[in-house]
Amino acid sequence: GGGGGGGAMQGLGALFGRRSAADVAEANLKSVVASTGQTTDYSDREKVVTWSFAKLPGDTEHRLLVRLSLSNNAQTNVRRECGPVNLTFTIPMYSTSKLGVRSLHVSRPSAGLGKPDAPAPYRWIRYLTKATSYVFRL
């Protein structure tokens, strides 16, 4: 018969509140989609499909379908060959643990520390959720 075929379908769900959005979410599937704010890229050298989002709104779901064309001599265990899906993302102004800062006091440097004309400090908190090693095994 002809060449074998296989596919890997991967869904990506944003399971955080609708008021938040992940910046620069990226999923890498080892081994193509046209939509606003999304890009896909295949690296033949690394055998990796990269699926990138400029912004991924909360409470949304996206799906990527990757089709593989295999030769007659290809192994039948495509899932093992594909390997895991690695996901990296950052969500600004969101705390997954729900921890928050209730009070902040910033002391102005005193003149005796060698910086008499130091600028006034700002009271500012930046919450950031960042994942750099989220792995989903197929």
The total number of structural domains in the chain stands at 1
| Domain region containing 96 | 5-136
85 burial (CB, 10 Å; 0-12 / 13-18 / 19+) is buried
127 burial (CB, 10 Å; 0-12 / 13-18 / 19+) is middle
Q: Name the pLDDT band for 77 (thresholds 50, 70, 90).
A: low
Instruction: Provide the sign of the torsion angle of the four alpha carbons 12, 13, 18, 23, taken in this order.
Output: negative
CATH number of the domain enclosing 112: 2.60.40
Q: What is the pLDDT of residue 2?
A: 42
- The β-bridge partners of 51 are 27, 40
- Flag whether pLDDT at 19 surpasses 70: no
